[in-house]
Amino acid sequence: MIEAPFLKRLSFRNKLLFSYIVLISIPITISSIYFFNKVITSVSRNSMEIVGQRLSQEESGLQNQLNQLEQAARFFDTNPIFNKYFDNNYYNDIERIVITNNYIIPLISWQASMNNNINSIRFLTDDDNIPEGEFIEWNNRHPADLWFDPMRRAVENNGLFWENIHQPRKYHYQKPGTLPQVYSMFTKLQGFSSQTPTFLEIEINPDYLFNTINLQPIGRTGYIVVTDRQKSIISGPESKRSGNVLKTAKLLARIRLNEHTERVTVNHITYVAAVKKINKLDTYLIGIVPLNEILEPLVRTRNIFIGIISAGLILLSVLAYLIAGFLLRRVKRILEAVRKIQQGDFLIRLPAAGGDEIDELADDINLMADKINELFNQVYKAEIAQKEAIINALQMQINPHFIFNTLETLKMMAEIRDEEELSEGLTALGNLIRYNTSIGSKFVTICREIENVRDYLKIQNLLLNNRLQVDFQIDETLYEWSMPNLVIQPLVENCIIHGYKDREDRITILIAIAERHNDIVIHIRDYGKGIPADRLKQIREVLNENIAEQIPGTNQKGIGLANVNKRLKLYFGMDYGLVIANGPDCGTKVSVRIPIT
């Protein structure tokens, strides 16, 4: 590792302090920047959502006003007086004049006065017999006008037609107006005659329609602009805020007219702009708020945040300095102890009351001193232990040799007295002892394991007065395959001891060995009394937990099921071992599965 020259000249204490400061400052700085950016992003997103929510509120208010205008149109559409008035089958000329003065004009004036958004109300009729006036116009005056045919088709198809913002039209008997532009809503009266249709036009004053939008600003200086599809301003704050016209025009040139929220920069100033479309009017509400107004609350927070981080770093540096001094005092004590050990003082001991790494190091040094102190006697003790091991090994060879000689003498005496059964039993016992005391033979052939089982059965038959009958069903092609020793005999012993406990009848055991799916499967089954369900569950739990403890209730002197199962899993893995179950009618069945080796 390359180390800077100035670091080499620093003491270990200062190096440790410098490392603490670097390690502490890096995550704190990164996490602080991340957290601060998260806060800015969250506040900015929330502020943008506030702009969108304000536009949604304004859209809801406009929709209510448009619904009121449509209700006014339905008032005329469903009024029987108006439907009869524009039908030639009901009134003559004199009656129509009376109806006009007494009903038509007052109702139109009343409805217009009820809704400030209405600039004018007009009926466009195909019936030339109805006299024209301020509120009535013949359709034959407008066949060449570009707006007339699209309006007529839209009303015929949809029943209601909203015309985009446009200049007020000059009708024949209409008084000159002052509005530069209006909206128009058209509907068709549901008269009794379809030959002379009449259309209702309600002109809407945009100034009244949008007059409440900027009564309350968005934030401190934010505002809402109403534009058409060409981004021409219909309503905005220009009349109240001088100098906004040029700025708003530049902003609108950069804003996309789809419902979204975005950031727009004009003259190095960033604004948050949100767009909401009024579908009926084909008009757009655009909310504009300077971004610095949104982020103003964060400036103070940022300064406080930086101050807290700086104070925290200073405090942590002081703490790191003090901690480094404390740790180095303990390290210096360890160095002094090591020097004394080098000088031959092996009885030195360091205090280690805590549990940290330095205390562990002190414990290790104490242990090292003890070990060094013991090394002087270790060679002598090792030589003594080695001699004792040799003597014990020789003794282990002598003891079985004496036992085998004794068994051979007893066998010869039995043969001399013609006691063949006893002679065979002694031979089997000798073979059994040799098999169990053989050194280094962990694996044997299946044939050798079965021979050991047969020797064991001969001895058991002597004890049981030949009541033991064992049926071997073994595939002879498997005899030369290897398996761990002392697997089958302990399982057969369990069958005799537990399966036929307290019974005097014949003992029948089945031993079957076969190949299944590249594995050797060994079944040992007895036809005794079986195992109670709760006891069987307990045995299975011990086997599944893969422990070699004695199963409660079994012979404490035997190897036991758990021991055999543990050895098999250690040899071959967790997929192999014992499976124990009760037979279908009676008795117990133990299955052993080992790989072919």
Whichever domain contains 454, its CATH number is 3.30.565.10
Domain-ending residue, one of 265, 294, 323: 294
Lowest mean pLDDT among 334-343, 426-435, 522-531: 426-435
CA distance linking residue 199 with residue 190, whole number of Å: 10
More confidently predicted of 232 and 378: 232
Q: What is the pLDDT of residues 75-88, one digit of tens each?
A: 888 888 888 888 77
**Tokens 């004053």 belong to which residue?**
205
Quote the pLDDT of residue 555.
47
Which conformational region is residue 549 in: left (phi greater than 0), alpha (psi within -120 to 50 degrees), or beta? Answer: beta
Q: Does residue 117 contact residue 205 with C-beta atoms inside 8 Å?
A: yes
373 phi and psi angles, rounded to 5 deg: -65, -30
Mean pLDDT of 329-358: 75
- Same structural domain, 176 and 77: yes
Specify the pTM.
0.48
Do residues 552 and 583 share a domain? yes
Taking the C-alpha atoms of residue 25 and residue 221, their distance in angstroms, rounded to an integer, is 40
Categorize the per-residue pLDDT at 473 as very low, low, confident or very high, splitting at 50, 70 and 90.
very high
247-279: burial string, b at 16+ Cβ within 10 Å, e else: bbeebbeebeeeeebeebebeeeebbbbbbbbe
Residue 589, helix vs strand vs coil: strand
For residue 137, tell me if it sits in a domain. yes
Task: Look at residue 590 and tell me whether its pLDDT is greater than 90.
Answer: yes
Mean pLDDT of the chain: 78
Is pLDDT above 70 for 47?
Answer: no
Same domain, 169 and 278: no
Same domain, 426 and 550: yes
Question: Is residue 135 scored above 50 in pLDDT?
Answer: yes
In a 3-state reduction of DSSP, which class is residue 266? strand
479 and 506 within one domain:
yes
Looking at the 3D structure of the chain, how many domains does it have? 3
Indicate if 171 and 283 belong to the same structural domain: no
| Domain-located, residue 389 | no
Q: Name the nearest CA neighbour of 13 among 321, 450, 292.
A: 321
Report the percent of the chain where pLDDT is more than 70.
78
Residues 6+ positions from 450 with CB-CB distance below 8 Å:
472, 474, 479, 488, 511
173/244 same-domain check: no
SS3 355: coil
**Lowest mean pLDDT across 39-43, 450-454, 507-511:** 39-43
β-strand pairing of 118-125 with 136-138: parallel
Question: Is 463 a domain residue?
Answer: yes
3 state DSSP class of 526:
strand
User: Is 356 inside a domain boundary?
Assistant: no
Same domain flag for 572 and 477? yes
Count CB-CB contacts under 10 A for residue 387: 10
Q: For position 207, what pLDDT does the model report?
A: 86
Contact 263, 255 (CB under 8 A): no
User: Residues 6 or more apart from 512 whose CB is under 8 A from it?
Assistant: 472, 473, 474, 522, 523, 525
Confidence of residue 397 (pLDDT cuts 50, 70, 90): very low
The pLDDT value recorded for residue 552 is: 52
For residue 242, the enclosing domain spans 223-294
Q: Please give the single-letter amino acid code of residue 260.
A: H
* Beta strands 182-188; 198-204: pairing state: antiparallel
Tokens in use for 188?
């068709």
Residue 27 to residues 40, 42, 78, 196, Cα–Cα distance (Å):
20, 22, 74, 82
Whether 144 shows a pLDDT value over 90: the answer reads no
How many Cβ atoms are within 10 Å of 439's Cβ, its own excluded?
7
Same domain, 165 and 142: yes
DSSP 8-state code for residue 141: G
CA distances from 99 to 83, 86, 92, 103, 471 (A): 12, 11, 10, 5, 123
* Tokens (6 digits) for 530: 């079986």
Any domain includes 217:
no
Q: What is the pLDDT of residue 461?
A: 83
- Give 565-585 pLDDT, tens digit per residue: 888 888 888 889 999 998 777
Strand stretches in 425-506, DSSP E = 443-445, 468-474, 482-484
Q: 226: which 2 tokens?
A: 């109403």
Of 8-12, 396-400, 505-509, the least confident: 396-400
| Structural domain ending residue among the three candidates 169, 187, 209 | 209
Residue with the larger pLDDT of the pair 368 and 209: 209
Helix (H, G, I), strand (E, B) or coil at 160: strand
Q: Give the model confidence (pLDDT) of 228-267 as tens digits.
A: 888 888 887 754 443 455 667 777 877 888 777 788 888 8
CA distance 396 to 415: 29
Average pLDDT (316-335) is 75
Q: What is the DSSP letter of 218?
A: B
Same domain, 132 and 277: no
Q: Provide the Cα torsion 593, 594, 596, 597; round to 10°.
A: -160
Element (H, E) at 277: strand 269-278
Burial of 72 (C-beta count, 10 Å sphere; 0-12/13-18/19+): buried
Rg of the chain, C-alpha, whole Å = 54
Give me the sign of the Cα torsion angle 421, 425, 431, 434.
negative
Flag whether 55 is in a domain.
no
Q: Which of 499, 510, 472 is CA-nearest to residue 561?
A: 499
pLDDT average, residue stretch 366-384? 69
Q: What percent of the chain has pLDDT over 90?
A: 12
Please give the C-alpha separations between residue 68 and each of 111, 114, 168, 181, 406, in angstroms, as whole numbers. 11, 10, 22, 21, 123
- Domain assignment present for 271: yes
Alpha carbon separation from 79 to 71, 84, 104, 378, 574 (Å, rounded): 12, 9, 11, 121, 91
CA distance 571 to 483: 10
pLDDT in tens, 414-472: 556 666 666 666 666 666 676 666 544 578 899 999 988 888 888 888 778 888 899 99
β-pair partners for 443: 484
Is pLDDT above 60 for 304?
yes
Distance CA(262)–CA(259), nearest Å, equals 10
Contact 274, 52 (CB under 8 A): yes
Q: List the helix and strand counts (H, then E) for the chain.
A: 15, 17
Least confident of 147-151, 160-164, 528-532, 587-591: 528-532
196 lies in the same domain as 255 = no
Q: Same domain, yes or no, for 236 and 204?
A: no
Domain boundary among 267, 294, 321: 294
Q: How far apart are the first and last CA of the chain?
A: 52
User: Is residue 393 very low, low, confident or very high in pLDDT (cuts 50, 70, 90)?
Assistant: very low
Residue 468 inside a domain? The answer is yes
Average pLDDT over residues 510-517: 93
Supply the CATH number for residue 259's domain: 3.30.450.20
CA–CA distance, 373 with 106 (Å, rounded to integer): 123
> Quick one: pLDDT at residue 571?
84
Specify the range with the lowest mean pLDDT, choosing from 108-112, 315-319, 535-539.
315-319
Q: Could you write out the three-class secondary structure of 434-446?
A: HHHHCCCCCEEEH
